[in-house]
Amino acid sequence: MRKIIFTVIIAGVVIFGNSSKAQQATDPAVEAKISNLMKQMTLEEKIGMIHGNSSFTSAGVSRLGIPELTTSDGPHGVRPEHGRDWSLDNKGNDSSTYLPVGITLASTWNPKLGYAFGAVLGSEAKFRGKDVILGPGINILRTPLNGRNFEYMSEDPYLISKLVVGYIKGVQDQGISACVKHFIANNQEVKRDGINVEMSERALREIYLPGFKAAVLEGGVNTVMGAYNKFRGQYCTYNDYLVNKILKGEWGFSGLMMSDWGAIHTTKDALLGGADLEMGSDIGTPPLKFSNFYFASPALKMVQSGEMAESVIDDKVRRILRVMFKTNMINASRTPGAYATSDHSAVAKKVAEEGIILLKNKGNVLPLQKNTIKTIAVIGANANRDNAMGGGSSQVRPKYEVTPLEGIRACVVNQAGITFSQGFAIAKDAKADSKMIAEAVENAKNSQVAIVFGGWVHGYDYSKWSDNAYDAEGADKPDMTMPFGQDELISAVIDANPNTIVVLFGGGAMDITKWEGKAKAILQVGYPGLEGGNALAEILFGDVNPSGKLTFSWPKTLSDAPAHKIGEYPGDGVTVRYKDDIFVGYRYFDTYKVKPQFAFGHGLSYTNFKYGKLNTSVKNGIVMVNVAVTNTGSKSGAEVVQLYVKDVKSTVVRPEKELKGFEKVFLNAGETKNITFELKADAFSFFDEKQMKFVQEPGKFEIIAASSSSDIRSKKTVKL
């Protein structure tokens, strides 16, 4: 039984052929070195390299100077050491920087921060002796219930594509491999081990693949991890269509395709289906017998008996060696990397500052004025909770983590004016607690302002991830209702003190309809990393002007979410049919005219931005767009200018509009900047299932500059 899992850039060059033939380039000199090494290897040595030989490594060939390949989670920090056999080391020397999670990183809408984030990860992975960092996770946020939404980035493939490239380059410029995961459609944790995902070719090409394609062709990612689930009846990790035809065929991926931990279930099909490295199968009861892996003795026997060509194994070994050469693992040395430095913390803080989203600010209750606010009621168990070790395989053990309560204390001179009440208990099946609510209400009444810290939590017990967990691997949220009686608490606190600010943690939307109408201020923070408490306090007190924007549409209720309303979730236990098709997130809300609680791309600032007239010019089918944006307020701040394209008339049904460009622009008070965008054919095309390719139909297109998908500021029609 599988153990419970806690679990160059090929010279940076990407050669594009025609639309269906692209290629990650390879270096002939390196290929020759690989051939030379492989000539000297026995079959047993080759087989040793294509399966795990401990919880996170696969074997090398020491007599030829080939080291083990060492991997580590994960997407927002280097994971604590789990030893060779999953026994947590607990030596206390395995700290790393706890960066904000994927959804918070993406909320910055700032690809430069993606790079800085990746560079921190790469540097720390190198310091900790890792070769591959198991991130970024980029599965589409299809349903608000997915337990791993916090690790992922967005519902929108364009936004993901822009952020993932920076992240990967940041990691790989440190000489470490990134691993983009989970390829593909691991959009729910319910039955993740084998649920069969059925979707149209168009949904695959327009929604679920583009992030991975950008990771391979623009990011030059060295490794890809397959998803646990099946796609059209075959496991994703060795799905002939996905791996052989698309990833390695159409995109010319020359790196290594590894399994998720325990995602391989057979030998022959998996070898032929394109998986290169089997990890985490841990077949049998402990002590773990790595020789029992499907790609170990069974694969060896298959080649020896002639049932499997050795060339199939050779291709996998070549890919692994290629990654090793690119990351200076053979006959080369690496720079040391750095670990838990103040510079790394500063990057984490910057990401948190730009990733925290101000959703509502009625009557400008925020920012709080330090000199006039003397009494604050801090309420809610999320105010003084550490999150780094939560959530599953992405756990991190930082040297410190600043909670919101600590962050607020650091900003306020009069400590005596701060009260803290827990408000709700994070405990198995905990319901509203009238005593705790009464205490919170009392404190709120006696303070000028109340700040409630609630939302999702990773789980009440980190060692049992999926037990009563909301943002965790192996489990989805049961519904969109806030747990532990938080609705009652928040309602009562707002009634007691109208100057209440609600701060929501977690990987995505929750149903806040019971109290949203009477709340003055709401913030969404995701999980903001080890400096999150400081970043949050600085936003609350106005030292930092918020600039995060939602990367997903926030439905009012679960029944409004497209995966639930027009799609299927979580399927019938065997199959889940993505009947919502391309209508994921705002593509659904906008097209079907359903009003979300908060729109995709929404996020407020303490200043205001005015958009000028949108100008366009067309040359050789390329549309140049120009729009001036002015900060009309009195504070400097940043706006994410979003560019959407609407196909006015089409032969197929298309979304109302789609994101095709964005830029985060920093403006001092009164300052104006001109923002330009270049829209090429891919901004106007859809995937035509008859021709099996992206096509652009002639006609009119609306070019829309917006502050969110529902806040359109300026638009113009072009004819192409």
The residue within the footprint of ligand BGC, chosen from 48, 60, 74, 407 (CB under 6 A), is 74
Rounded least distance, CB 329 to ligand BGC, Å: 20
Residue 73 or 590 with smaller CB distance to ligand BGC: 73
* 237/642 with CB nearer ligand BGC: 237
Smaller CB separation from ligand BGC, 225 or 308: 225
Minimal CB distance to ligand BGC: which residue?
7
Q: At what angle do helices 310-326 and 28-39 cross, to 10 degrees?
A: 130
Cβ atoms within 10 Å, residue 564: 20
Distance in angstroms (rounded) separating the CA atoms of residues 32 and 460: 53
Q: How far is the CB of 50 from ligand BGC (least distance, A)?
A: 17
In degrees, to the nearest 5, what angle opens at C-alpha 540 toward C-alphas 538 and 545? 65
Shortest separation between residue 227's beta carbon and ligand BGC, angstroms: 8
The length of the chain is 720
Which CB sits closer to ligand BGC, 71 or 605?
Answer: 71
- E-strand ranges in 43-157 read 57-58, 69-72, 132-133
> From the CB of 174, what's the least distance to ligand BGC, in Å?
19
Nearer to ligand BGC, 130 or 520 (CB): 130
Among 68, 73, 401, 476, binds ligand BGC (CB under 6 A): 73
- Beta strand 686-688 with 693-695 is antiparallel
Q: With respect to ligand BGC, which residue has the nearer C-beta, 174 or 393?
A: 393
Query: Residue 181 or residue 477: which is nearer to ligand BGC going by CB?
Result: 181
In the complex, the smallest distance separating the C-beta of residue 99 from ligand BGC, rounded to whole angstroms, is 16
Q: What are phi and psi of 523, to 5 degrees?
A: -125, 150
Name which of 121 and 641 has its Cβ closer to ligand BGC.
121
- Please, what is the minimum distance in Å from the beta carbon of residue 7 to ligand BGC? 3
Q: Least Å distance between CB 255 and ligand BGC?
A: 16
Q: CA-CA distance, 360 to 86, in Å (whole number)?
A: 44
**Residue owning tokens 């609350």:** 540
Could you say which of 150, 152, 238, 261 contacts ligand BGC (CB under 6 A)? 261
Footprint of ligand BGC on residues 178-237 (CB under 6 A)?
A: 181
SS (HEC) of 500-532: EEEEEECCCCCECCCCHHHCCEEEEEECCCCCH
Identify whether the C-beta of residue 703 lies closer than 8 Å to the C-beta of residue 718. Answer: yes
Binders of ligand BGC among residues 552 to 611 (CB under 6 A) are: none
Examine the residue annotation and report whether 429 is marked as an active-site residue of this protein.
Answer: no
Which whole-number Å values give the CA distances from 46 to 162, 296, 461, in the listed order?
37, 10, 41
Closer to ligand BGC by Cβ: residue 260 or 663:
260
Residues sharing a CB contact under 8 Å with residue 206, sequence separation 6 or more, in sequence order = 157, 582, 686, 687
SS3 content of the chain, % helix, strand, coil (to 5): 30, 20, 50
Q: What's the min distance (Å) between Cβ of 135 and ligand BGC?
A: 8
97 within 8 A of 344, measured Cβ to Cβ: yes
CA diameter of the chain? 81
Facing residues of 679 across strands? 623
Selected from 58, 267, 345, 393, the binder of ligand BGC by CB under 6 A is 393
Q: Which of 373, 347, 404, 366 is nearest to 604 (CA)?
A: 366
Distance CA 225, CA 137 (A): 9
Q: What is the CA radius of gyration of the chain?
A: 25
What burial letters (b/e) apply to 648-673, b meaning 16+ CB within 10 Å?
eeeeeebbbbbbbbbbbbebeeeeeb
564-572 own/partner pairs: CB under 8 Å, 24+ apart: 564/143, 566/592, 567/142, 569/142, 569/143, 569/145, 569/188, 570/188, 570/190, 570/191, 570/195, 570/476, 571/190, 571/191, 571/195, 571/196
Interface with ligand BGC includes 260 (CB under 6 A)? yes
What is the distance between the alpha carbons of residues 542 and 633, in angstroms, rounded to a whole number?
14
258/441 with CB nearer ligand BGC? 258
**Placement of tokens 């943690």 in the chain:** 505
Nearer to ligand BGC, 187 or 605 (CB): 187
3-state secondary structure of 311: helix
Gap between the Cα atoms of 214 and 216, Å rounded: 5
Q: Per-residue x/- marks for ligand BGC, 461-480, CB under 6 A?
A: ------------x-------
Smallest distance from ligand BGC to CB 186, Å: 8
Minimum CB separation of residue 419 from ligand BGC in Å reads 40
**Strand, helix or coil at 556?**
coil
Give least dist CB 157 to ligand BGC, A.
Answer: 20
Handedness of CA 281, 283, 287, 292 (dihedral sign): negative
CB of 147 to ligand BGC, least distance (A): 11
Question: Three-state SS for 172?
Answer: helix
Binding residues for ligand BGC restricted to 4-23, rule: CB under 6 A: 5, 7
- In the numeric block, the tokens 């059925």 are attached to 198
**What character string, x for contact with ligand BGC (CB under 6 A) and - otherwise, covers 81-120?**
----------------------------------------
Residue 84: CB minimum distance to ligand BGC, A: 14
Q: What is the DSSP letter of 402?
A: -
Residue 449 token pair: 């302002």
Q: Write down the catalytic residue from 73, 260, 476, 560.
A: 260
Nearer to ligand BGC, 153 or 645 (CB): 153
Q: Which is nearer to ligand BGC, 472 or 490 (CB)?
A: 472
Active site residues per annotation:
260
Binding site for ligand BGC (CB under 6 A): 5, 7, 73-74, 134, 181, 260-261, 393, 473
